[in-house]
Amino acid sequence: MRINNVEIEDTFAEAFKMWASRVIITAASETWALNAAHSMSGFATSVIMCKCEAGMERILSNEETPDRRPGVSVLVFAGKEKDLVKQMMKRIGQCVMTCPTTACYNGLEGGKKVDIGGKLRFFGDGFQISKLCGGRRLWRIPVMEGEFLCEEKFLAREAVGGGNFIVIGKNAESVLEACERAHKEIRKIPNVITPFPGGIARSGSKVGSKYKFLDASTNTSFCPTIKSQVDTKLRTEENCALEIVIDGLAERNVENAMRAGIQAACTSPITRISAGNYGGSLGTFQLHLHKILEGMR
Amino acid sequence: MRLTLKKSSPIPLFAECLSPDTFCDKTVSEIGDLKCLHGNRVVTLGDFFRIDEDSPTIEIVGDVSFVRHIGAKMTIGKISIQGNVGMHLGAEMSGGEIIVEGNASDWCGAEMRGGRMRIRGNAGNFLGGAYRGSEIGMNRGTILVTGNAGHECGLRMKRGLISVQGNLGDFAGLHMKGGTLICYGKLGKRTGALMERGTILCYKTPQLLQTFRRNAAYNPVWLRFFLNQYREILPVKKEHIEGIYERYSGDITELGKGEILVWKG
């Protein structure tokens, strides 16, 4: 298969079942909502080392937020429900509650209820106040600036993490530029995030390592500088590969994002689009590039 | 079901049967045969009302201010009253909706557990209150009064919302334990007396007890959320959402975790 003369490999991205939640952060201004969102989704690129993957989904207008202030929606993903709760607790507590003027609400409509504000409230040292409003319980925690408002229950649901595609080209500049275009298009797709810096990962990983203490190591078969030393997947003229990893609330969301991203990335001098997988032995989902891109060639 | 008042009486009629739960699956004649107490005498609903089956909800036409306990303990359905109504309207109700086009008497929504009540006229004393000897008054639900309300509004209220667009009598929020009481008009004396928790929101400066202490002037974010949630049923203005409120906490003779928020514009 070829799109704009770029080869689409007949392979698949291997994605995993994860747990996800959406956090709506509001603040007095968009700047402060973004400050909190950036802080909350910082150091959340991969569950391997960060214990969760998080990213800003989109900026919300005043009309879209529960308190009619500027807001941002953040998606958080983790392998297990209890890990998700733990990470949300830490990140809302340390990154949102600490950020001036912010408030924090559940942003999902369906899923399992998990207690976040109900635990964070203890920071109020007995001066916290609850308010039940339209069936939603909010906790008002006194802070030095006024009050931090946090919804008691957030919803968590099963989701899909690790959707990906690898952009391969002749030089680093063109591959990066193609990935930037892809990331820009993916950001328009709802219910997905790209957790890596700027949405792009340069250090894709493989399972295992020659070192026993390491669970994952560099994806040697896509590293151009050691092409001759390993069983490489890169061709002679290919000198760079970058990966875009996508987490989404549902499989179709990830597929939509992959489709939009690949389409935007497919321009010369990109040579190939591939995807990361482990031979289909680890992940629940196999997102086949040709199937996703059917009708787009 | 439309109930048109046939005759009034100076003696109260205790009509707890006048509720969608009781009317459910009953014919017109069966409803007419429902027993009520008129003073200490047993009468039927048909003795006082002409009953027609031409409304999907219960519609009561006439001044029924001598009829007590209408909609008491109701859980579903809707009652619409085209006139004034007597005591204990919707007492202990847990669901459904009651709309009163006239005034309501005392103990309206007493110990309410859910549902919604809208009174377009004035409400009497003990609106959403707790009965004597009871620890908890209104505990969920919404009461909206377009006119004034009497004394001891929200007595021992624990959850829910009471909104009064007119004035409130004395001792509003007495022994309040939670929930939100909003007054857009003037408040009487000793507002929030013996209050433990909960919020009294005032849009006119009340005369506060010495046992309430000023904390700060700020724009509460929770109120933005709250007022936006109830935007369709409350007279919310932009300046109410974005305005500054002075926060007083008390009553320090009790737990002292109640709050009175006074809108400063």
Domain that holds residue B223: 106-263
Q: Per the structure block, which two tokens stand in for A279?
A: 């031979």
| Distance between A133 CA and the closest CA of chain B, angstroms | 6
Nearest by Cα to B243 from B207, B202, B185? B202
Q: Looking at the partner chain, which of B140, B197, B224 has a beta carbon nearest the beta carbon of A67?
A: B224
Nearest by Cα to A85 from A134, A118, A39? A118
User: What H or E segment, with its residue span, contains residue A258?
Assistant: helix A251-265
Q: What is the pLDDT of residue A297?
A: 52
| Domain termination site, one of A157, A175, A196 | A157
The radius of gyration of chain A from alpha carbons, rounded to an integer in Å, stands at 21
Q: Can you give the length of chain A in residues?
A: 297
Examine the domain organization and report whether A180 and A153 are in the same domain. no
| Distance between B190 CA and the closest CA of chain A, angstroms | 23
Domain that holds residue A180: 2-14+160-292
- Domain count of the fold of chain A: 2
Q: Is B122 within a domain?
A: yes
Residue A8 has pLDDT above 70, yes or no: yes
Q: Per the structure block, which two tokens stand in for A150?
A: 């946090």
Examine the domain organization and report whether A23 and A148 are in the same domain. yes
Q: Is A9 within a domain?
A: yes
Q: What is the average pLDDT across A226-238?
A: 95
Helices (H), B200-246: 221-229, 238-242
Examine the domain organization and report whether A165 and A151 are in the same domain. no
- The residues of A whose Cβ lies within 8 A of any Cβ of B are 26, 66-69, 101, 103, 105, 127, 129, 131-134, 138, 140, 146-147, 149
Quote the CA–CA distance of B109 and A69 in Å, as a whole number: 34
Instruction: Write the CATH number for A26.
Output: 3.30.70.520
Q: What is the average pLDDT across A23-30?
A: 98
Asked if residues B143 and B119 have their Cβ atoms less than 8 Å apart, the reply is yes
Q: Looking at the partner chain, which of A69, A129, A132 has a beta carbon nearest the beta carbon of B224?
A: A69
Quote the CA–CA distance of B62 and B5 in Å, as a whole number: 5
Q: Which residues in chain B have their CB less than 8 angstroms from residue A134's CB?
A: 229-230
Q: Which residues in chain A have their CB less than 8 angstroms from residue B216's CB?
A: 146
A-to-B residue pairs, Cβ atoms closer than 8 angstroms: 50
- The residues of B whose Cβ lies within 8 A of any Cβ of A are 140, 159, 180, 197, 199, 216, 218, 220-222, 224-226, 228-230, 241, 257, 259
Q: What is the pLDDT of residues A246-273, one digit of tens each?
A: 999 999 999 999 999 999 999 878 999 9
Q: Looking at the partner chain, which of A132, A133, A147 has a beta carbon nearest the beta carbon of B220?
A: A147
Q: What is the pLDDT of residue A287?
A: 95
DSSP helix, strand, coil percent of chain A (3-state; round to 5): 30, 35, 35
Q: Is A297 within a domain?
A: no
Examine the domain organization and report whether A89 and A217 are in the same domain. no
pLDDT digit of tens for each residue in chain B (265 aa)? 999 999 999 999 999 999 999 998 899 999 999 999 999 999 999 999 999 987 789 999 999 999 999 999 999 999 999 999 999 999 999 999 999 999 999 999 999 999 999 999 999 999 999 999 999 999 999 999 999 999 999 999 999 999 999 999 999 999 999 999 999 999 999 999 999 999 999 999 999 999 999 999 999 999 999 999 999 999 999 999 999 999 999 999 999 999 999 999 9
Q: Which residues in chain B have their CB less than 8 angstroms from residue A138's CB?
A: 222, 225
Whether residues A146 and B257 touch (CB distance < 8 A) is answered with no
Dihedral sign computed on CA atoms, order B214, B215, B218, B223: negative
Q: Is B204 within a domain?
A: yes
Whether residues A67 and B159 touch (CB distance < 8 A) is answered with no
Q: Is A207 within a domain?
A: yes
- Domain count of the fold of chain B: 1
Examine the domain organization and report whether A227 and A125 are in the same domain. no
Q: What is the pLDDT of residues B158-205, one digit of tens each?
A: 999 999 999 999 999 999 999 999 999 999 999 999 999 999 999 999
Quote the CA–CA distance of A176 and A168 in Å, as a whole number: 10
| Angle formed at CA A291 by CA A285 and CA A295, multiple of 5 degrees | 150
Residue A142 has pLDDT above 80, yes or no: yes
Q: B170-206 in b/e burial notation, b at 16+ Cβ within 10 A?
A: bbbbbbbbbbbbbbbebbbebbbbbbbbbbbbbbeeb
Whether residues A129 and B180 touch (CB distance < 8 A) is answered with no
Examine the domain organization and report whether A139 and A197 are in the same domain. no
Q: Which residues in chain A have their CB less than 8 angstroms from residue B140's CB?
A: 132
Examine the domain organization and report whether A287 and A196 are in the same domain. yes
| Angle formed at CA B172 by CA B167 and CA B175, multiple of 5 degrees | 170
Examine the domain organization and report whether A110 and A215 are in the same domain. no
Which of A21-25, A281-285, B45-49, B139-143 is least confident?
A281-285
Q: What is the pLDDT of residues A145-195, one digit of tens each?
A: 999 999 999 999 999 999 999 999 999 999 999 999 999 999 999 999 999
Helices (H), chain B: 20-23, 28-32, 45-48, 221-229, 238-242
Examine the domain organization and report whether A36 and A138 are in the same domain. yes
Q: How confident is the model at residue A295 (pLDDT cuts 50, 70, 90)?
A: low
Whether residues B229 and A69 touch (CB distance < 8 A) is answered with no
Examine the domain organization and report whether A45 and A103 are in the same domain. yes
Q: What is the pLDDT of residue A296?
A: 63
Q: What is the pLDDT of residue A277?
A: 87
| Distance between B13 CA and the closest CA of chain A, angstroms | 35
| Distance between B188 CA and the closest CA of chain A, angstroms | 25
| Domain termination site, one of A111, A142, A157 | A157
Q: Is A121 within a domain?
A: yes
Quote the CA–CA distance of A54 and B186 in Å, as a whole number: 50
Whether residues A103 and B216 touch (CB distance < 8 A) is answered with no
Quote the CA–CA distance of B176 and B181 in Å, as a whole number: 9
Q: What is the pLDDT of residue B55?
A: 76
| Domain termination site, one of A107, A136, A157 | A157
Examine the domain organization and report whether A149 and A24 are in the same domain. yes
ipTM: 0.91
Examine the domain organization and report whether A35 and A100 are in the same domain. yes
Q: Is A188 within a domain?
A: yes
